[in-house]
């Protein structure tokens, strides 16, 4: 078989986390009774008019700057006309002719670094939701999501494999999360990706006919869909057939895609400039203000961590995957805590507890001062590691001050060596068998005796001290 | 004293002085409505009970000594494409036969705050598409001067209601002449303000980039008073301009002085060319002469590219309309066909049955002009023509304070005369569409009668934001033409 190359471009929709909708003051909050977050504007009432939410523009600019785009000095909205009940005005306000951002790129690293070009980023409004009632044979529409702001990031056809697609999406997701403008969840639809794919013989300079694939709700689905679609297209070409330009729908359960509409059925959206909104002028000063607010992104952070903190590469990658955990890490270290110890707490206990409580890293509620104090308590042997883990769990759930908590719950190791020695002597006396085992070379018996001592001290003793005293008493 | 004979400002004064109660004013209007409506059909909906409730509330405010404006307590009619909360608003279309807005348009909010009493909603061409009020689903409105003739349109109901004294004031809307042309046909005064100075929030859109709400009254003073009320920036309308914030209170009322000395007035030769009725021409030239006699400098000049105006206007208006009217799909409100199979069929039947012929014609025209492959040839070209017209007007206003001409090339036509020939109807907009294409303000004032006893309208246009000049000149004309 001839060797084929897969060519992929993505259209990524990202829901922006503004408090209010793009063209009215209604809340963007999830939930709420159907149509409770609506007004004349987002239900398309006759006579209503859109007013642009400035925050949406700033979020779009921030994403544009983060992806090395040029910000248009003049940007305009256009109407995309089509009939569907989830679209209350029967047109969507979007941008066709003068999108806000153009000509950017992001760098990905899959078997070597490469740039994926960004053709444009534009702003638009989301549609409502249709709810079909099969029993009554009718449909309802909920406009709570209508008017929620979206940006669409259109890449150039620069990707050549599913791995590159995933790397590109991961890159976008982390950039956007760092900016705090969206939580980018594929499963929940706050990030949606449509895949444009074509194949061509390796070495060919012209692109093949592409198809567009929709309904991809996980990275796994995207990988499978890319694999399926490239094989389908290659098989068509190999058998002397042609690829039809069409929109296809991915069915993850069936593991296959199906024609949604062919080129002939493509709608004519009759785009034209939105007369209800004036062209938006973006001056240099405004761009500079947004630029000044850009955070340190992950790539820069990774580089800095490598020189600034003595922690392993693996720790760096995990800590920086989410800006929030990186922020906690840095703030705690800034308070004087040991970087590796901080990293251990975040990567170990914090991530374990997050997973356990099915929470996102961005929801981690951990006060750096508290974490620093906890580490100090262990360092100063005020509490032992086991107690520290218990305290940490309380901190994780209730954000308590560990010092105060230890004091109020009497968790401090208060044993003087003399008092501890007395208790250990008692343990030795109560467990002659273990003592004998130990002296006969069964070193494991030591662990049992330490455990018995800890039990007797109700965990308030320093395990290191128990070990030291036990060894002294047993070895003499 | 016959209350209905008073001007709005005179009535407002009597109400302030408690010579006339608000209720008496409302009753007087409704008496006239009862008498004339069976013949004229100016209103789609009247709201007698609502008006009485409003009257009571406003009277209370006056009695409590609240400081209110010059028009407090004065009855007003509102064109049926301007949203009124809890009062049916149909755009004279079957499509919105049952539509009751959940909110007030900004203009209506301002009227209510100022204590004006809304009598009802006036008839119009369906969605504003027409120049005769004959495309209304709710029957034609007849011209009070001759009931065999049209009142003009699309604000025909508003203008006829003022002319027949079924109201003291009215709000109209003007997309291509829809306030001015029926004002001319009905012998009343109507003003289209500068684009962006009166909020369009709550105005049911036809041609978004062209239309404005404006005042219609018995004379220039009444219009100035009403304009002052509704004028001003509104954050709910993104196309509303900051400039109109600069106009201090009283700026229009303060312009009511009889002085046109030194005013530079230009008459475009093209407005006097072929197709203009001779009697209308004579009246307009007589008015121009009057201005000259009173100290204005009047001369003829030539406007370039005039022949592109009507095609460009109809492309832009129809394109915007084809999109604006998409929302009438039978899903959310308004008319839905009784029998259909599936979504597409519901759309098709609801829109086929709900819209009238002229509306469908313009939706098709606009959809075609916007479709891919034609967009550049039609819509973009029309935008370019519009830009040229704006430049042409900028040049003209560098030389002249006002542009003078007829409001319409003829007086009111016979009912049914124009309906068969849409092109002829579109050509009738020749004199008025420039103000919409360029955004400038324009006023129509009565300037005599033709031999059939029908009113003739004089149109004055001023540069953007120069409503003050417009009002002063119109007011002066009103005075010296009476003398």
Tens of pLDDT, residue by residue over B386-433, are: 999 999 999 999 999 999 999 999 999 999 987 777 777 788 899 999
Is residue B348 exposed (0-12), middle (13-18) or buried (19+ Cβ within 10 Å)?
middle
Closest to A10 (Cα-Cα) out of A156, A170, A144: A156
**Residue of A85, A270, A276 lying closest to B208 (CB–CB):** A276
DSSP A121: E
**Residue of B102, B235, B331 lying closest to A40 (CB–CB):** B102
**Residue of A44, A50, A275 lying closest to B327 (CB–CB):** A44
Q: Are B126 and B153 in contact (CB under 8 A)?
A: no
- Which residues in A lie closer than 8 A to residue B209 (C-beta atoms)? 275
Partner-chain contact B200 A44, CB within 8 Å: no
Q: Tell whether A31 lies on the interface with B, counting CB pairs under 8 A.
A: no
Just give the CATH number of A417-475: 1.10.10.410
Residue A385 CB: number of other CB atoms within 10 A? 11
Average pLDDT over residues A68-94: 97
Output the six-digit token pair for B2: 């016959």
Catalytic positions of B, written as ranges = 79, 154, 178
A 89-108 → B contacts, CB under 8 A:
89-91
Distance CA B133, CA A137 (A): 41
Tens of pLDDT, residue by residue over B134-171, are: 999 999 999 999 999 999 999 999 999 999 999 999 99
Tens of pLDDT, residue by residue over A276-330, are: 999 999 999 999 999 999 999 999 999 999 999 989 999 999 999 999 999 999 9
Each residue's pLDDT, cut to its tens digit, for chain B (483 residues) gives: 799 999 999 999 999 999 999 999 999 999 999 999 999 999 999 999 999 999 999 999 999 999 999 999 999 999 999 999 999 999 999 999 999 999 999 999 999 999 999 999 999 999 999 999 999 999 999 999 999 999 999 999 999 999 999 999 999 999 999 999 999 999 999 999 999 999 999 999 999 999 999 999 999 999 999 999 999 999 999 999 977 665 555 688 888 889 999 999 999 999 998 889 999 999 999 999 999 999 999 999 999 888 899 999 999 999 999 999 999 999 999 999 999 999 999 999 999 999 999 999 999 999 999 999 999 999 999 999 999 999 999 999 999 999 999 999 999 999 998 777 777 778 889 999 999 999 999 999 999 999 999 999 999 999 999 999 999 999 999 999 986
DSSP notation for A227-279: HHHHHHHHHHHHTT--PPPEEEEEETTTTEEEEEEEGGG------EE-TTSPP
Å between B119 CA and nearest CA of chain A: 21
Tens of pLDDT, residue by residue over A156-181, are: 999 999 999 999 999 999 999 999 99
pLDDT of B247 reads: 55
pLDDT-derived band of residue A183, with 50, 70 and 90 as boundaries?
Answer: confident
Output the six-digit token pair for B342: 């599936």
Distance CA A257, CA A419 (A): 73
Q: Tell whether A281 lies on the interface with B, counting CB pairs under 8 A.
A: no
Count Cα atoms within 13 angstroms, Cβ side, for B205.
Answer: 31
Residue A113 CB: number of other CB atoms within 10 A? 8
Count Cα atoms within 13 angstroms, Cβ side, for A404.
Answer: 8
DSSP A450: H
- Which residues in B lie closer than 8 A to residue A54 (C-beta atoms)? none
| Residue at token pair 């003087």 | A416
Distance CA A52, CA A276 (A): 10
Average pLDDT over residues A385-397: 90
State yes or no: pLDDT of A476 exceeds 70: no
Chain mean pLDDT for chain A: 92
Percent of chain B with pLDDT over 90: 91
Hey, what domains does chain B have and what are their CATH numbers?
1-483 (3.90.1300.10)
pLDDT of A58 reads: 98
A contact test, residue of B198, B238, B380 with most A CBs within 10 A: B238
Q: Tell me chain B's radius of gyration from C-alpha atoms.
A: 21
Å between A398 CA and nearest CA of chain B: 44
Decide the pairing of beta strands B442-449 and A138-142: unpaired
Partner-chain contact B238 A51, CB within 8 Å: yes
Partner-chain contact B331 A85, CB within 8 Å: yes
B contact test, residue of A49, A129, A141 with most B CBs within 10 A: A49
Distance CA B120, CA B136 (A): 16
- Which residues in B lie closer than 8 A to residue A89 (C-beta atoms)? 326-327
Question: A452 to each of A55, A390, B201, how far by Cα in Å?
Answer: 61, 19, 79
Q: Tell whether A49 lies on the interface with B, counting CB pairs under 8 A.
A: yes
ipTM value: 0.95
**Residue of B103, B209, B236 lying closest to A51 (CB–CB):** B236
pLDDT of B248 reads: 53
Output the six-digit token pair for A272: 């034209």
Domains of chain A: which residue ranges?
4-286, 296-408, 417-475
Query: Can you say whether the dihedral through the CA atoms of A379, A380, A383, A388 is positive or negative?
Result: negative
Question: A160 to each of A230, B130, B171, B345, how far by Cα in Å?
Answer: 11, 57, 62, 43
Question: A52 to each of A41, A212, B336, how far by Cα in Å?
Answer: 12, 30, 32
- Which residues in B lie closer than 8 A to residue A275 (C-beta atoms)? 208-209, 239, 320
Distance CA B203, CA B91 (A): 10
State yes or no: pLDDT of A1 exceeds 80: no
Question: B126: which residues sit within 8 A by CB, 6+ positions away?
Answer: B91, B92, B93, B135, B136, B137, B355, B356, B358, B359
């Amino acid at each position: 078989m001839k060797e084929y190359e897969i060519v992929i471009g993505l259209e990524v929709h990202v829901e922006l986390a503004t408090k209010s909708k793009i063209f009215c003051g209604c809340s963007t909050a999830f939930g709420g009774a159907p149509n409770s977050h609506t007004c004349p504007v987002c239900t398309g009432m006759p006579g209503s008019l859109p007013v642009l939410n400035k925050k949406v523009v700033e979020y779009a600019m921030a994403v544009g700057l983060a992806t090395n785009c040029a910000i248009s000095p003049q940007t305009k909205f256009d109407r995309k006309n089509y009939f569907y009940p989830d679209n209350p005005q029967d047109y969507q306000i979007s941008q066709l002719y003068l999108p806000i951002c153009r000509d950017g790129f992001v760098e990905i690293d899959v078997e070597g670094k490469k740039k994926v070009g960004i053709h444009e980023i534009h702003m638009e409004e989301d549609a409502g939701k249709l709810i079909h009632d099969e029993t009554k044979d009718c449909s309802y529409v909920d406009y709570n999501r209508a008017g929620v702001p979206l940006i669409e990031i259109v890449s150039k056809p620069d990707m050549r494999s599913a791995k590159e697609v995933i790397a590109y999406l991961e890159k976008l997701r982390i950039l956007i999360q760092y900016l705090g403008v969206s939580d980018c969840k594929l499963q929940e639809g706050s990030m949606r990706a449509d895949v444009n794919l074509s194949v061509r013989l390796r070495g060919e300079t012209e692109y093949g006919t592409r198809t567009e694939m929709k309904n991809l709700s996980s990275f796994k689905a995207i990988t499978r869909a890319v694999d399926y679609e490239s094989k389908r297209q290659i098989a068509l070409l190999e058998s002397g057939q042609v690829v039809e330009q069409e929109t296809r729908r991915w069915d993850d359960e069936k593991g296959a895609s199906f024609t949604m509409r062919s080129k002939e059925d493509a709608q004519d959206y009759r785009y034209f400039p939105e007369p209800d909104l004036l062209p938006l002028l973006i001056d240099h000063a405004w761009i500079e203000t947004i630029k000044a607010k850009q955070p340190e992104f992950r790539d820069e952070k990774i580089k800095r961590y490598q020189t600034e903190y003595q922690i392993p590469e693996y720790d760096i990658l995990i800590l920086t995957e989410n800006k929030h955990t990186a922020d906690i890490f840095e703030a705690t270290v800034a308070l004087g805590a040991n970087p590796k110890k901080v990293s251990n707490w975040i990567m170990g206990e914090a991530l374990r507890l997050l997973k356990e409580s099915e929470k996102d890293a961005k929801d981690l509620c951990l006060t750096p001062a508290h974490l620093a104090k906890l580490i100090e308590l262990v360092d100063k042997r005020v509490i032992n590691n086991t107690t520290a883990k218990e305290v940490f769990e309380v901190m994780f759930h209730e954000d308590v001050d560990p010092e105060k908590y230890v004091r109020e719950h009497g968790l401090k190791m208060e044993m003087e060596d003399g008092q501890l020695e007395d208790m250990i002597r008692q343990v030795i006396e109560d467990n002659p068998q273990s003592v004998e085992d130990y002296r006969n070379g069964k070193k494991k018996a030591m662990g049992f005796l330490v455990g018995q001592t800890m039990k007797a001290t109700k965990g308030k003793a320093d395990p290191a001290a128990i070990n030291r005293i036990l060894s002294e008493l047993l070895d003499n | 004293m016959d209350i209905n004979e008073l001007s709005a400002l005179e009535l407002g004064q009597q109400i302030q002085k408690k010579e006339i109660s608000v209720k008496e004013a409302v009753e007087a209007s409704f008496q006239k409505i009862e008498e004339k409506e069976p013949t004229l059909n100016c209103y789609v909906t009247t709201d007698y009970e609502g008006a009485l409730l409003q009257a009571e509330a406003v009277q209370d405010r006056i009695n409590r000594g609240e400081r209110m404006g010059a028009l407090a307590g004065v009855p007003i009619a509102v064109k049926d494409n301007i949203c009124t909360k809890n009062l049916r608003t149909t755009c004279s279309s079957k499509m919105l036969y049952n539509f009751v807005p959940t909110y007030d348009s900004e203009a209506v909010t301002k009227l209510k705050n100022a204590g004006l009493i809304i009598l009802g909603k006036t008839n119009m061409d369906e969605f504003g598409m027409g120049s005769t009020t004959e495309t209304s689903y709710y029957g034609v409105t007849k011209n009070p001067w001759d009931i065999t003739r049209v009142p003009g349109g699309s604000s025909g109901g508003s203008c006829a209601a003022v002319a027949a004294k079924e109201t003291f004031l009215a709000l109209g809307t003007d997309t291509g002449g829809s306030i001015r042309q029926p004002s001319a046909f009905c012998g009343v005064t109507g003003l289209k303000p500068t684009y962006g100075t009166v909020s369009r929030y709550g105005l049911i859109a036809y041609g978004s980039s062209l239309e404005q709400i404006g005042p219609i009254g018995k004379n220039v003073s009444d219009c100035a008073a009403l304009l002052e009320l509704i004028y001003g920036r509104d954050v709910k309308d993104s196309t509303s301009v900051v400039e109109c914030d600069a106009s201090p209170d009283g700026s229009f009322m303060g312009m009511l002085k009889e002085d046109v000395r030194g005013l530079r007035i230009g008459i475009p030769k093209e407005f006097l060319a072929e197709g203009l009725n001779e009697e209308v021409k004579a009246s307009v030239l007589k008015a121009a002469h009057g201005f000259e006699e009173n100290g204005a400098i009047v001369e003829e000049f030539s406007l370039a590219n005039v022949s592109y105006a009507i095609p460009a206007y109809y492309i832009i208006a129809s394109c915007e309309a084809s999109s604006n009217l998409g929302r009438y799909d039978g899903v959310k409100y308004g008319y839905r066909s009784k029998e259909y199979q599936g979504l597409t069929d519901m759309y098709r039947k609801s829109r086929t049955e709900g819209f009238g012929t002229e509306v469908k014609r313009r939706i098709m025209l606009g959809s075609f002009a916007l479709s891919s492959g034609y967009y550049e040839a039609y819509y973009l070209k029309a935008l370019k023509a519009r830009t040229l017209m704006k430049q042409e007007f900028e040049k003209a206003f560098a030389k002249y304070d006002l542009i003078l001409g007829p409001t319409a090339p003829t007086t009111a036509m016979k009912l049914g005369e124009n309906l068969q020939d849409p092109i002829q109807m579109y050509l009738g907009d020749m004199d008025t569409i420039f103000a919409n294409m360029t955004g400038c303000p324009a006023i129509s004032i009565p300037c005599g009668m033709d031999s059939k006893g029908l009113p003739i309208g004089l149109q004055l246009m001023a540069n953007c934001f120069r409503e003050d000049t417009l009002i002063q000149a119109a007011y002066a004309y009103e005075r010296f033409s009476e003398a």
